[in-house]
Structures are given as structure tokens and as C-alpha cells.
Amino acid sequence: MSIVEKINKKYLGTLDHPLATMLIANTGNGIEALFEITPKFFTWDFW
């Protein structure tokens, strides 16, 4: 399973979703790139 499929499965819950199939096809063809950003820390302090 490719990283694109893993990310789609994680966030969309299925690989049968139209967005998932489009992303898998476009990344396979080199049209799109998919990134998952994981922050090292998170804060709610906006002041």
C-alpha cells in the first residue's frame, strides 16, 4: 500500500471515495503531490 493510499484511508476512511481515487490516479501519473504535515507541538495561545 502506497503512502497516498494510507493517507486516504486514514482521513477518508475508504479508498472507494471519489476524491481518494482521483488523488491516487493523479499522484501515480505525476500530476499531484500529497503531503501530510505532523506538527512537533501545538498551542492554543493566540494572545
Query: What is the structure's pLDDT at 47?
Result: 65
Rounded to whole angstroms, the Cα distance separating 16 from 18 reads 6
Tell me the C-alpha distance between 43 and 41, whole Å. Answer: 7
Residue 1: its pLDDT value, please?
79
Cβ-contact 14, 20 below 8 angstroms = yes
* Distance from C-alpha of 23 to C-alpha of 20, rounded to nearest angstrom: 5
pLDDT tens figures, 3-47? 899 999 998 999 999 999 999 999 999 999 988 888 887 777 766
% the chain with pLDDT above 70: 96
Amino acid at 14: T
Q: Look at the pTM and tell me if it is higher than 0.85.
A: no
